[in-house]
Amino acid sequence: MRARILPPTLENLKLIALALKNGELVGLPTETVYGLAANGFNPVALAQVFETKERPTFDPLIVHVGPSQKSLAKLEQMKVVDPSVLSLSVRHQVEGLMQAFWPGPLTLILPKHPHVPDLVTSGLPSVGVRMPVHPVAQNLLEQLPFPLAAPSANRFGRISPTSAQAVADELGDRMDWILDGGPCGIGVESTILLIHPQVPEQIQLLRSGGVSLERLQTHLGFSISRQTPVGSSHAFAAPGMLESHYAPGKPFLLFPKPLDQITDSELICFFETLVQKFFKPLVWGVLLQKGAPEAFNRRLSLLTKIPLLIRSLSEAGDLKERAHRLFSEMRGLDATSAEILIAEPCAEENGLAQAISDRLTRASAHSRSRLALAK
């Protein structure tokens, strides 16, 4: 492996800052997931990000700024955002969102400053900006005279990494530096809001994530519309919101219902369809939302003779714990001997449940279409 995993000592942070100034790429811990960071103003380094991730250039990058940049005036001064095209009421709204949710897992799509290279924004007139709350990311950003463009540090379409080791497993043979900031606290990516430059009420949710829709709506005082993920043929209309994403390497499917709502005969029928459409696995991998793996093992072992590898996101069913562990458990199961992975869908619809459901739906999109079970 080429990459070195470094603890975030002051010395190492200086070394990493220098590497970024030299146009190198760095695995960066944030509170959501690890990013693959580069100088957001350096087109050569940015091109390297796309190449390293095998990411199509129609999928724009999020630009990360330090905690001292928390205003439109600062973002303009830093040559990231051009607030001149925003109406007065929208400026007010954006400042309010920054005060309430930054630093934190909220990305705002704002008019881009001409200085931001087109590679960052895939040629769009807007740029995604986020201020991470992770102390290692903040410390590094404050040392740099430029923002950091950082997509999640996974190969395109794969599971986002939530630990330094997961970054190394994904990209360790293609990059040199990974800063180890420990496991990511939140575990799913930032919520993305598209800000309409003129009309405050026309804010759109592009991706659910670490900040819940309810909290945003309570803050704003009106409801936010959602942009739904689209198939790859529409990729240019809604960059990066592809239906298939976050996918493990193995067939990955969802049970048709949460497991306390599904009957034994429905379960048997589901397993039979899987075997018919895919193959008969030697081991099933199962990811539960909640409860003890042993309890479900007892139920399932009466229905199928195929051995099961069962993991639970949170035995107590805590949503934060489930989001925090989602990607690492998906990654963990993908690395086991299980040949087909099946996850329980999220029964709830509030808070982080939306982000969890979104990631599970997209992770299973490819296998679902193979199964030809319209959903």
Of 90 and 267, the one with the shorter C-beta distance to ligand TXA is: 90
Of 151 and 200, the one with the shorter C-beta distance to ligand TXA is: 151
> Rounded CA gap, 146 and 356, in Å?
32
Of 91 and 158, the one with the shorter C-beta distance to Mg ion is: 158
> Rounded CA gap, 87 and 200, in Å?
9
> Rounded CA gap, 361 and 243, in Å?
8
Residues 277-336 close enough to bind Mg ion by CB under 5 A: none
Asked whether position 241 contacts ligand TXA by CB under 6 A, the answer is: yes
Asked whether position 152 contacts ligand TXA by CB under 6 A, the answer is: yes
Output the smallest distance, CB 202 to Mg ion, in A.
25
Of 6 and 167, the one with the shorter C-beta distance to ligand TXA is: 167
Output the smallest distance, CB 322 to ligand TXA, in A.
17
| Count of alpha carbons within 13 angstroms of residue 277, beta-carbon side | 17
Q: Sign of the CA dihedral 374, 370, 205, 239?
A: negative
Of 126 and 312, the one with the shorter C-beta distance to ligand TXA is: 126
Asked whether position 191 contacts Mg ion by CB under 5 A, the answer is: no
DSSP E strands in 86-214: the ranges are 106-111, 126-130, 148-149, 177-179, 191-194, 204-207
Q: How far is CA 47 from CA 50, 60, 112, 120, 217, in A?
A: 5, 12, 19, 9, 36
- Residue 200 interacts, among Mg ion, ligand TXA, none and using kind-specific CB cut-offs from 5 to 8 Å, with none
Phi-psi region of 65 (alpha: psi -120 to 50; beta: other; left: phi over 0): beta
First to last CA, the chain: 41
Of 130 and 324, the one with the shorter C-beta distance to ligand TXA is: 130
Residues 50-79 close enough to bind ligand TXA by CB under 6 A: 59-62
Number of residues that bind ligand TXA (CB under 6 A): 27
Residues 83-142 close enough to bind ligand TXA by CB under 6 A: 105, 107, 109, 121, 124, 126-128, 130
| 38 membership: H or E segment, kind and range | strand 35-39
The closest alpha carbon to 32, from 362, 368, 326, 373, belongs to 326
Which residue stretch of 49-57, 151-159, 251-259, 307-315 sits at the interface with Mg ion (rule: CB under 5 A)? 151-159
Residues contacting residue 275 through CB under 8 Å, at least 6 positions apart: 281
- Residue 240 interacts, among ligand TXA, Mg ion, none and using kind-specific CB cut-offs from 5 to 8 Å, with ligand TXA
Output the smallest distance, CB 157 to Mg ion, in A.
9
- Residue 367 interacts, among ligand TXA, Mg ion, none and using kind-specific CB cut-offs from 5 to 8 Å, with none
DSSP assignment letter at 185: S
Output the smallest distance, CB 34 to ligand TXA, in A.
7
Of 30 and 152, the one with the shorter C-beta distance to Mg ion is: 152
Q: How far is CA 335 from CA 286, 329, 338, in A?
A: 13, 10, 8
Of 38 and 286, the one with the shorter C-beta distance to ligand TXA is: 38
Asked whether position 152 contacts Mg ion by CB under 5 A, the answer is: yes
The answer to whether 241 and 107 are in contact (CB under 8 A) is no
Asked whether position 189 contacts ligand TXA by CB under 6 A, the answer is: yes
Strand order in the sheet with 308-314: 252-254, 340-343, 284-290, 308-314
Which residues contact Mg ion (rule: CB under 5 A)?
152
Q: Under the rule (CB under 6 A), what is the footprint of ligand TXA?
A: 30, 32-33, 35, 59-62, 105, 107, 109, 121, 124, 126-128, 130, 150-152, 189-190, 192, 206, 239-241
